[in-house]
Amino acid sequence: MKLQQYSDQDLVKLYLTGNESVLEELLRRHKSKIYTSIYLLVKDQYLAEDIFQDAFIKVINTLRSGRYNEEGKFLPWVMRIAHNLVIDYFRREKRGPVITSSDGTDVFNMLQFHEESAEDRILREQTHVDLRAMIHLLPNDQKEVLIMRHYADLSFKEIADLTGVSINTALGRMRYALSNLRKMMKVKEIS
């Protein structure tokens, strides 16, 4: 039987019995989806490759140590590892990813159709700083969903899978995140 015919769970079992070559099949099957999900968040090819490699090193170490127990949910498990490594990276760097519009442009660097005065530029830059600061004030679960939805353009189904919650929970977290941002903006306007 060819390796392509085995399920992920069967390949993991084969790997655990010492068949190292099955890891190549698991990697071939899922590399594109895992790498793309990382790249969408970090927006840097080399960084995405590094995080992807770190994720698979973590997968191998976890499998070898006998701590894997995801029962047929290999891809969501690896996606969660990769996602956590991305979050760790952003925490270390203390910066948020770029917010892009639906056409892929950075909303903080939209083209100006008029000559921008120094006052306009300072106001725009301060608004960007304020928005990023407000996003960082959100509770982690709300910030996480907001980043994945608006920065990485992931669907709520993908967000739910990555974070291990239901779609309704992911939607609720997004609703709370937007509501909290609106409240922060109103407070900022008043002060």
**pTM above the 0.75 mark?**
no
- In this predicted structure, what is the pLDDT of residue 107? 45
- How many other β-carbons are positioned within 10 Å of the β-carbon of residue 162? 23
Domain architecture of the chain: domains with CATH: 1-98 (1.10.1740.10), 109-190 (1.10.10.10)
**Mean pLDDT computed over 155-182:** 87
146, 60, 144, 12: which is closest to 52 by C-alpha?
60
Question: 83 versus 100: which is more confidently predicted?
Answer: 83
**Mean pLDDT computed over 72-101:** 75
Would you mind telling me the total number of residues written for the chain in this entry? 191
Averaged pLDDT of the chain: 79
Contact indicator for 191, 130 with CB cutoff of 8 Å: no
Q: Can you state the percent helix, strand and coil of the chain, rounding each to 5?
A: 75, 0, 25
149, 145, 153: which is closest to 173 by C-alpha?
145
Identify the residue whose tokens are 């959100």.
138
Query: How do residues 44-86 score in pLDDT, each as one tens digit?
Result: 889 999 999 999 999 988 888 888 876 768 888 888 889 888 8
What is the rounded CA–CA span in Å between residue 118 and residue 101? Answer: 25
- In this predicted structure, what is the pLDDT of residue 69? 79
What is the rounded CA–CA span in Å between residue 143 and residue 135? Answer: 6
Identify the residue whose tokens are 């990813």.
97
Which residues lie closer than 8 Å to 60 by C-beta, 6 or more apart? 23
Six-digit token pair at 6?
A: 């085995």
In terms of phi and psi (left: phi > 0; alpha: psi -120 to 50; beta: otherwise), the region of 101 is: beta
